[in-house]
């Protein structure tokens, strides 16, 4: 069994610090703000790629933000294992009185979130977050 090649890049610009993690046809990008972190996921989120999301979320949660938004608008597949990773992050944030928000889930992601009941324990925000001028 071969291990997927992982490409992790840190960048910084005026909007904050970005952590980008890429595997073939899958990426996770984290953007750090003052008190909020945004994590954008693209591609298939499954048992093979969920550990990458967990690693990025671990990095994000270590900074103790008051809010973490996980953008699932570009997710093409989502499995129950991945939802359990999101639930673990939600519980860790709640322990510090912080919140996890799922932003704009794709139709596939929305269906799985509903089937697992995760949509009843986490805030689902619609659409893309507007950038501050």
CATH number of residue 32's parent domain: 3.30.750.24
Q: Is residue 132 part of a domain?
A: no
Split at pLDDT 50, 70, 90, the class of 5 is very low
The token duo for 118 is 């995760």
* pTM of this structure: 0.79
Q: Is residue 131 part of a domain?
A: no
Cα–Cα distance for residue pair 76/105, rounded to 1 Å: 10
Segment 51-107, tens digit of pLDDT: 999 999 999 999 899 999 999 999 999 999 999 999 999 999 999 999 999 999 999
Q: Is residue 115 part of a domain?
A: yes
- Nearest Cα neighbor of 108 from 79, 129, 71, 70 is 79
Asked if residue 19 has pLDDT above 60, the reply is no
Q: Range of 17's domain?
A: 7-125
Split at pLDDT 50, 70, 90, the class of 127 is confident
Number of domains comprising the chain: 1
Q: Is residue 71 part of a domain?
A: yes
Cα–Cα distance for residue pair 118/124, rounded to 1 Å: 10
Q: Is residue 51 part of a domain?
A: yes
Q: Which residue has the higher pLDDT, 21 or 83?
A: 83
């Amino acid at each position: 069994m071969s291990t997927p090649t992982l490409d992790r890049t840190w960048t910084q610009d005026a909007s904050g610090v970005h952590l980008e993690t890429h595997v073939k046809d899958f990426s996770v990008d984290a953007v750090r703000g003052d008190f909020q972190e945004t994590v954008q996921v693209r591609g298939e989120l499954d048992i093979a790629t969920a550990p990458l999301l967990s690693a990025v979320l671990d990095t994000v949660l270590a900074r103790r933000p008051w809010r973490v938004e996980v953008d699932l608008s570009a997710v093409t597949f989502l499995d129950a294992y991945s939802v359990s990773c999101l639930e673990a992050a939600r519980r860790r944030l709640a322990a510090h009185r912080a919140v996890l928000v799922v932003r704009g889930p794709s139709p596939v992601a929305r269906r799985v979130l509903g089937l697992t009941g995760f949509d009843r324990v986490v805030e689902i925000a619609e659409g893309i977050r507007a950038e501050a001028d």
